[in-house]
Chains A and B, each alone.
Chain A
Amino acid sequence: MDNKIIQEYLEYLNLIHQFSVFENAVNTQRLIQNISNLLKYKFIRKDEIVTLKDEISFVDVILEIFIGKYGECVNYKSEINGNITDVYIPNYSVLTFVECSLFNSFESKENNLNLNLCIDYFERNIKIKIQDDNTANEYSKENTHLIDSVIFKYNSFFSMDSLIDINFNVNKNTIVKMEIPKIL
């Protein structure tokens, strides 16, 4: 049912995209394309296992939508080991935390948001670190349910517990550490 509704919306977005092409609205086209792709990735492929590379590519899409919406308000830095992006993870697990960081920052922060994404080996395992400097003490209540389900999905996929660690440092930053066991 969810997919059915999303597909309908995607059809509308596609329709609007076509109009924007007719009307030669380039930025509009690009934004619609981004939001459409993001919705497809998030909902149509929600039960899929994706590569880390795919997941990281959509970080850029989200950021582009965000910047397109709010302007240049995010300083994004990424340190990603290119050799390890072919590992598989559950869909929208990294992006969920990226999304949360972005959304939360606009509730609590007036200055630009610094967002760092680091992916590398650490003691034979792959570690993903998502760090922001927003001053919100924790993610909003709206996101708690979503994060809980992502943690459950992530741990279930790797059949291990405590693979995701979230640290809210009061008035300082939020650090999310995700671990991918080497065996995979």
Chain B
Amino acid sequence: MFYFPKKFINVSIKKKLIFFTVSIVIVLSLFNIYFYYAFYKSTNEYNTILREYSDINNLSINLLESKESISKYINPYSEYIGDEHELENYDYNIMQSENLIDTLMNSSETLDTYLLIRAIKNSFSEYDSSIKKILDLKQDENNYNEFLRIKNNTNYIEQYIRQLIDVKLSEGAWYQNELSKYVKNIRKTYIVGVSLMIVLSFIYIIAFSNNISVPIKKLTFFAKNISEGMFKKEELVLNSSDEINILAKTLNQMASNIDIMINLERNLMNEELMRTKISNELSKAKFLSLQSQINPHFLFNTLNAISKYSMFENANKTTKLIEALAVILRYNLGSVKKHTLLNDELEIVRKYAIIQNSRFGNKFKFEIINKLEKEIVYIPRFIIQPLVENSFIHGLEAKDKRGKVRVKIKFSKYDKNTVIIKIIDNGVGISKDELLIMFDEDKNLKGDTTGIGLNNVRTRIILYTGREDSFVVRSKVDWGTIITIKINILRRT
């Protein structure tokens, strides 16, 4: 295949195109000039031959007319004898003849022609001087006889002229032959030149397209790699310094920049993940810290001891409450595992309800309808208790009448691996504004036993299930609230 030489590769595409166009225009122009010149030259030579033929012919006519005019002027039997007009015609013809002879002499190229023309010129001079001599004499019959003798002598001029015509004809034939050869050569040159130009143009176009299409293919492949996210592939290197190379360098730079941006983004994401991880670890650490500070065993044992004391002292209600608190405390501080048995979580909820009911003088009715009682189902920790607590604190605490909280748990109708948990209360309900505050951990400062707010539960459930609709709050002011959780169970036997 054809490629541009190395030096030419580095020239810009614009310059390559200009070079190609200018080259074609120059070559075509040179061809035109050359053909115009050749045509002009051959036409000119042909015209010269024709003019010479014409001049020789005119010379012959002039000779005849001069003889006729002078004959009329001199002939004593002629009605034009002594007619000045005839004499003027004679002079005119002689003068014309002399001019023609001079022209022919100047244009003569061969010695034969030159000698013939000189002979004609001398003969004309001799003829004219002889006539002039007769004209100076008296016009009588003797004179006229002398004129007839001179006139007969002019036959050799006519013979010279015929000879000149023959020579010129043979020269013309030779010229014509040369001219036809010349035209043939021009035609050959034209064909060869045009063919050469076509071939060279073809080579140039192939080289040009190769030098453009190959880098463009590379560019396309490179751009495709970029679009597929492969930024770290080898750098695109083209052996040229034209616009495509500039484009390649720009693409390299762009790929590099995108790579840097992506790495930056990745690093930021990693940092964010790290921050989240650290935050989680921090939460865990806080929990552990609290756990170690409280010393759960000590606290549980103490509560148990108090429970025993209260039992000895027949303080049944106190006993029940202390037991409930101990269970809640054990659950809250007992483990940092992510999952727990559903029944354990519900037990905590029951104990919590006992305390809350005691706290508010049995103002609330609490019930759990669990259709999964016999199942061993694991769920994320602390998802039901905070919501029940929310119902008590935000829903029922402010209600004057007896309130009710119900927790309903069942399998989904459509998927037996999905559990639906509903926390229903007939409390004061939550307005949209209040709900927004509840979902904002920073603003929701109302106390709870776990430090886990509504938003925390919602976020964890959505993260756990990956579905926004897995946590739905429906509430109406003065009517109540229903929180529905759809969650995939971790293990069910």
Binding site for B on A (CB under 8 A): 1-2, 4-5, 7-9, 11-13, 15-16, 19-20, 22-28, 31-32, 35, 42-43, 46, 65, 68-70, 99, 103, 142-143, 145-146
A103 and B450 CA atoms in complex are apart in Å by 26
Closest A residue by C-beta to B389: A8
The dominant DSSP class at the B interface is helix
A20 and B312 CA atoms in complex are apart in Å by 12
B-chain residues with CB within 8 Å of residue A31 when the two chains form the complex: 302, 305-306, 309
Q: Are B286 and A2 in contact (CB under 8 A)?
A: yes
Binding site for A on B (CB under 8 A): 286, 288-290, 292-293, 295, 297-299, 301-303, 305-306, 309-310, 312-318, 321-322, 325, 329, 332, 355, 358-359, 447-451
Q: Are B449 and A8 in contact (CB under 8 A)?
A: yes
Q: Are A5 and B315 in contact (CB under 8 A)?
A: no
A99–chain B nearest beta-carbon distance, Å? 7
Q: Choose one: A4, A24, A27, A142; the contact of B309 (CB below 8 Å).
A: A27
A67–chain B nearest beta-carbon distance, Å? 10
Q: A19-B318, A20-B315, A23-B315 in contact; A143/B292 too (CB < 8 A)?
A: yes
Q: Are B293 and A19 in contact (CB under 8 A)?
A: no
Closest B residue by C-beta to A2: B290
Q: Are B317 and A15 in contact (CB under 8 A)?
A: no
Q: Are A24 and B295 in contact (CB under 8 A)?
A: no
A38–chain B nearest beta-carbon distance, Å? 9
Q: Are A9 and B447 in contact (CB under 8 A)?
A: no
B452–chain A nearest beta-carbon distance, Å? 10
B-chain residues with CB within 8 Å of residue A35 when the two chains form the complex: 299, 302-303, 306
Closest B residue by C-beta to A14: B359
B-chain residues with CB within 8 Å of residue A43 when the two chains form the complex: 293
9 further contact pairs, Cβ within 8 A, besides A2-B290, A12-B449, A143-B292: A4-B447, A16-B318, A19-B321, A19-B358, A24-B313, A25-B315, A43-B293, A46-B293, A69-B302
Closest B residue by C-beta to A67: B305
A-chain residues with CB within 8 Å of residue B309 when the two chains form the complex: 25, 27-28, 31, 68
Q: Are B322 and A5 in contact (CB under 8 A)?
A: no
A32–chain B nearest beta-carbon distance, Å? 6
Q: Are A99 and B295 in contact (CB under 8 A)?
A: yes
Q: A69-B302, A142-B295, A143-B292 in contact; A28/B447 too (CB < 8 A)?
A: no
**A-B interface, 8 closest residue pairs, ranked by CB to CB distance from nearest:** A23-B315, A25-B315, A25-B313, A69-B305, A28-B310, A20-B318, A19-B318, A31-B306
17 A-B pairs whose Cβ atoms sit less than 8 Å apart in the complex: A4-B447, A5-B448, A8-B448, A8-B449, A9-B325, A11-B359, A13-B325, A15-B359, A19-B318, A19-B358, A20-B310, A26-B313, A28-B313, A31-B306, A31-B309, A69-B301, A103-B295
Q: Choose one: A11, A15, A19, A69; the contact of B315 (CB below 8 Å).
A: A19
Closest B residue by C-beta to A26: B313
B-chain residues with CB within 8 Å of residue A19 when the two chains form the complex: 315, 317-318, 321, 358
A78–chain B nearest beta-carbon distance, Å? 21
A136–chain B nearest beta-carbon distance, Å? 15
Q: Are B292 and A16 in contact (CB under 8 A)?
A: no
Q: Are B298 and A103 in contact (CB under 8 A)?
A: yes
A28 and B292 CA atoms in complex are apart in Å by 25
A1 and B445 CA atoms in complex are apart in Å by 10
Q: Choose one: A15, A69, A70, A145; the contact of B355 (CB below 8 Å).
A: A15
Q: Are A23 and B293 in contact (CB under 8 A)?
A: no
A-chain residues with CB within 8 Å of residue B305 when the two chains form the complex: 31, 68-70
Q: Are B449 and A16 in contact (CB under 8 A)?
A: no
